[in-house]
Amino acid sequence: MLQVVYVSAAGLPFTQAQLVALLKKSRAKNASLGVTGLLLYHAGSFLQVLEGPDAAVDALARTIAADDRHHRVRFLVRRDAPEAAFAGWSMGFVDVTRDDYGDVLGHVDYLLGLNATPSFWDQDLLQMLLGRFRAGALRQHVGTVD
């Protein structure tokens, strides 16, 4: 099983309706491919975890990298995984727009508690990634559309 984590900048900001449409389409496609994961969105930037069969995840990663809706795609993690951290979630989603960062971690903790094996997905790593994403430390590398 392959796990990939990436960040990207949205070509244009997504409305709530566009995010819902994207999630519906992604969840259906991911379920058909046996791919699970988590999508975070904040102010025009994405952080996504994809996991599943190597060929399916690699194909999705290539599709995302070539998709005009994504700019400056940066792959942060690509590793073999003994099991899915987000099993049962064709695409978990968190809109990281609230000021209360603790609430965001609470949602992620909930997702992890339901579907993750602590020995597999290092919660400290996820919290660090979320924190850096929320604070803009990763988003500055993603940038905005020129």
79: phi then psi, degrees, rounded to nearest 5: -150, 155
Binned at pLDDT 50, 70 and 90, residue 110 comes out as very low
CATH number at residue 122: 3.30.70.100
Q: Give me the mean pLDDT over the 27-31 stretch.
A: 90
Q: How far apart are CA 125 and CA 123, in angstroms?
A: 5
Q: Give me the mean pLDDT over the 59-72 stretch.
A: 89
What is the helix, strand, coil percentage profile of the chain, to 5?
45, 25, 30
Query: How many secondary structure helices (H) and strands (E) does the chain include?
Result: 5, 5
pLDDT at position 144: 35
The residue range of the domain holding 47 is: 2-142
Q: Give me the mean pLDDT over the 55-68 stretch.
A: 94
| Inter-residue contact 14 to 72 (CB < 8 Å) | no
